[in-house]
Amino acid sequence: MNNDIASLKTLMDVARYHATHHPDQVAYVYLEDGESDEHSITFHELDRQARAFAAHLQTVVKAGDRALLLYPSGLEFIVAFLGCLYADVIAMPTTVPHLKRSTPRLLLMMKDAEAHVACTTQGVHEKIKFLAEENVEFQDIRWVISEEVDNDGAEKWLQPESQPDNIAFLQYTSGSTSVPKGVMITNFNLLRTIQDLQIGVQFEDDSVMVSWLPIFHDMGLIFGLLTPLYAGRPCYIMSPVSFLERPFRWLNAISTHTGTHTAAPNFAYELCVRKITDEEKKELDLSHMVGAVNAAEPVRLETMREFTKTFTPNGFRYEMFMPGYGLAEATVKVSNKKPGQAPAHCILDANEIQKNKLVFVPETDPNAYPNIGCGWTSIGADIRIVNPATNKPCPPDEIGEIWVQSDSVAQGYWKRPEVSKEVFHAQLADSGEGSFLRTGDMGFIHDGELYIAGRIKDMVIIQGRNYYPQDIELTMEKCHPALRPSCGAAFAIDDGEAEHLIVVHEVRREFRKMDNFKEVADAIRMAVAKNHGLRVHAAVLITPSTIHKTTSGKIQRSAVREAFQGNSLDVLYEWRAPVLPGKPG
Amino acid sequence: MDQNEIKAKLRQFICKEILNNADYPLKDDEALITSGLMDSFSLAQVGVFAELEFNVYIPDPELTVDRMNTLNDMAFRIAEKMSA
């Protein structure tokens, strides 16, 4: 790591450093169509536009005010985000509401943060004018339109003092059905996380980033966009839609621009295996890659093996995979694969996991459950495994909640002192050590690496055994070709006497008119019984693209549960266990 | 359907799908779970099989080792539900 940069206090200082030391180097390239239509910006121009944007902001709001950033992927977002840092205005990056369905969350965020200004592009502003007309929350909002900012105004910028402890931005959590919470990330948190990432993934002086991740999502923002900025290296970006339309574009950008680093959730690697044709494969060279980060959803051994097998002829190697773990509350990263080795994994007895016990078995064992190591911290974070009921450290052979104490742990949730104290300042019951961040994720430490079991709040507990819904969802999607991958939800409902497992799954578009949905539901019921020793209480098949997901594409199990209970799912077929005498329906 | 037919279908399912040995000579009164031949975990599969094949639902409190340890036990319980 460059020592000059390591001594800087804020990302603004880092961006200014690069603008001074290598002004003409390319900072970002936006691939408009995901392929050849390139828009690029140098470090000098980025700094100039950020200063102009900040100068403009300074005429509208004051330091510490909140600015909503409503941008599609592209250079305008980066300028606006940096502009906020340059004006010491607290940025709130969020998704552009293109459907009325995504508006309530935005309104809740605005109210929560008392946003003063909304920044966006001309195009988006046209599309979301209805917001301002329909919602009182927008009444007093000032709009800043990127195209209207005068770039010659850079000279009017008043540079704020570099304050490590000031909040750089609010990262709003997905907030499935509840009010979203704004994680307060300081300049210091941000720099320490980026350093952690940079060391962890070996992002060095010859590295090149390629990212299609959503820019308002913590992994897309901090890893995809800001890590290369910190290192002063080029970053190629495309929109998530460009990738989803044609996954080839992602690997092709890596190939064409000699990308060394990228990141994506597991499903994206799976999509590449399924969708990239043999003809397309001929064009790909991935041999120069260093790190393909796999994080933000459960990492699957099978996917990484399949991807490696598929792209070995293109120079991809298994050790390029970098599984990682993190959360917004820890400024995206807690751990990732240790440099210079292949991803580690261990095979657990699935029966014992349900009792929070670690029992290792051979891969051929009928109860074998592979789990991928998510590496370790690169900045000395203190990571513990704690019994979430007693707050006492777990013995080494037990699964417990992951607790973290580190420079990258955020300051808490915006204006929520009570819940912040609970989540960000937990203490160990035996030694009184802390304050720790309670991640809400279950996991364990094995052979010096952190492993993840699943979210506590999603955990299905039936007859005293723990089940992780993502495992059941994986079983489902594999059991019948009519089921749409990554579009199922498993959760429990309580009928007052016991918890029961409910499963909901989308069917694929081409199967939505099939006449034998019963066969699909039967397959689900048998597969779940076989793999998990559980009978489902209801199996529901729903219309494609109707399952509840977060803005970053994760299944919102609590919202699906609510819809199931409120009978508002878009049902194609449903099987329910018979109501038994003497039991409430 | 009499208990012998039920047993025949159950035997075929259990040997093939649970024991992974279609030719296993499973006896009517052979202990399946207490002997370790089959995991209690697999009772859920027997339960779903009963639902799909015989259209009977065996509630959780009855889907237990003490009530479902042999083919005889299982067939008896299923026949009882079918005639109910």
State the CB neighbour count (10 A cutoff) for residue A41.
18
Assess whether pLDDT exceeds 90 at residue A311: yes
Q: Is the pLDDT of residue A583 over 50?
A: no
CA distance A572 to A549: 19
CB contact under 8 A, B48 and A529: yes
Q: Taking a contact as any Cβ pair under 8 Å apart, which residues of chain B between 31 and 50 contact chain A?
A: 39-45, 47-49
φ, ψ of residue A38 to 5 degrees: the values are -105, 135
Q: Which residues in chain B have Cβ-Cβ distances shorter than 8 Å to A365?
A: none
Give the pLDDT of chain B (84 residues) as one tens digit per residue.
Answer: 788 999 999 999 999 999 999 999 999 999 999 998 998 889 999 999 999 999 999 988 889 999 999 999 999 999 999 988
Tokens of A254: 């890596």
Q: Chain B closest CA to A352's CA: distance in Å? A: 12
Contacts of B49 in chain A (CB under 8 A): 526
Give φ, ψ of A531 to 5 degrees.
-85, -20
Rounded Cα distance between A335 and A376, Å, is: 4
Q: Which residues of A touch B42 (CB under 8 A)?
A: 530, 533
Cβ contact, residue pair B45, A498, below 8 Å: no
Residue A100 has pLDDT above 80, yes or no: no
Phi-psi region of A220 (alpha: psi -120 to 50; beta: other; left: phi over 0): alpha
Q: Does residue A339 surpass a pLDDT of 90?
A: no
Contact (CB<8Å) B60/A530: no
Distance from CA of B51 to the nearest CA of A (A): 9
Distance from CA of A358 to the nearest CA of B (A): 18
pLDDT at A125: 93
In Å, how far from its chain's centre is CA B69? 8
Q: Can you tell me the mean pLDDT for A356-370?
A: 91
pLDDT at A344 (0 to 100): 96
pLDDT for the residue numbered A584: 41
- Chain A hits for B59, CB-CB cut-off 8 Å, are 580
Q: Is B51 touching A (CB cutoff 8 A)? A: yes
Helices and strands per DSSP (H, E), number in chain B = 3, 0
Would you say A75 and A30 are in contact if contact means Cβ atoms under 8 Å apart? yes
pLDDT for position B1: 78
User: What does pLDDT average to over chain A?
Assistant: 93
The answer, yes or no, to whether residue A581 has pLDDT greater than 60, is: no
Residue of B nearest to A577 (CA): B57
Q: Is A525 on the interface with B (CB under 8 A)?
A: yes
Residues of chain B with pLDDT > 90, as a percent, come to: 75
- CB–CB contact A525 B51 (8 Å): yes
Per-residue model confidence (pLDDT) at position A585: 38
What confidence tens digit (pLDDT) does each residue in A210-249 have? 999 999 999 999 999 999 999 999 999 999 999 999 999 9
Per-residue model confidence as pLDDT tens digits over A434-464: 999 999 999 999 999 999 998 888 888 887 7
- Contact call for A580 and B59, based on CB within 8 A: yes
Q: Which domains does chain A have, with CATH numbers?
A: 3-243 (3.40.50.12780), 344-455 (2.30.38.10), 460-576 (3.30.300.30)
| Test mutation, B19, B33, B37, B51, chain A, max A CBs within 10 A | B51
Residue in A closest to B42 by C-alpha: A533
Res A578: pLDDT: 86
Interface TM-score (ipTM) > 0.90: yes
Show the tokens assigned to A457.
Answer: 């709040």
Strand partners, A436: A426
Instruction: Using pLDDT thresholds of 50, 70 and 90, give the confidence band for residue A567.
Output: very high
The three-state secondary structure class of A494 is: strand
Cross-chain Cβ contact A577/B44 below 8 Å: no
Is the model's pLDDT at A399 over the cut of 60? yes
State the distance between the two ends of chain B, measured CA to CA, in whole angstroms.
Answer: 14
The pLDDT of residue A178 is 64
Residue A350 banded pLDDT, cuts 50, 70, 90: confident
- pLDDT for A545 equals 93
Per-residue pLDDT tens over the stretch A147-203: 999 999 999 999 999 999 999 999 998 655 567 899 999 999 999 999 999 999 999
What average pLDDT does this structure show over A541-564?
Answer: 89
**Contact of A72 with A48, CB cutoff 8 Å:** no
> Is B64's Cβ below 8 Å from some Cβ in A?
no
Chain A: residue nearest B43 by CA?
A: A533
pLDDT score of A570: 95
Structure tokens at A467: 């089940």
Count Cβ atoms within 10 A of the Cβ of residue A557 and give its class: 0-12 exposed, 13-18 middle, 19 or more buried: buried
Whether B57 and A577 lie within 8 Å, measured CB to CB:
yes
B53 touches chain A (CB under 8 A): no
3-state secondary structure of A48: helix
- Domain of B76, in residue numbers: 3-83
User: What is the number of structural domains in chain B?
Assistant: 1
Per-residue pLDDT, A503? 97
B5 touches chain A (CB under 8 A): no
A580 touches chain B (CB under 8 A): yes
Tell me the shortest Cα–Cα distance from B45 to chain A, in angstroms: 5
Q: What is the mean pLDDT of residues A515-524?
A: 95
Give first-to-last CA distance, chain A, whole Å: 63
Number of helices (H) and strands (E), helices first, in chain A? 20, 26
Please compute the mean of the pLDDT values over residues A356-373 and round it to a whole number: 92
CATH code of residue B19: 1.10.1200.10
Which pLDDT score, from 0 to 100, does residue A130 have?
A: 82
Burial (0-12, 13-18, 19+ Cβ within 10 Å), A584? exposed
Determine the pLDDT at residue A101: 61
Residues of chain B with Cβ-Cβ distance to A351 below 8 Å are: 39, 41
Give the pLDDT confidence of A255-271 residue by residue, as tens digits.
999 999 999 999 899 99
pLDDT for res A102: 64
Helix axes A11-21, A187-201, angle to 10 degrees: 60
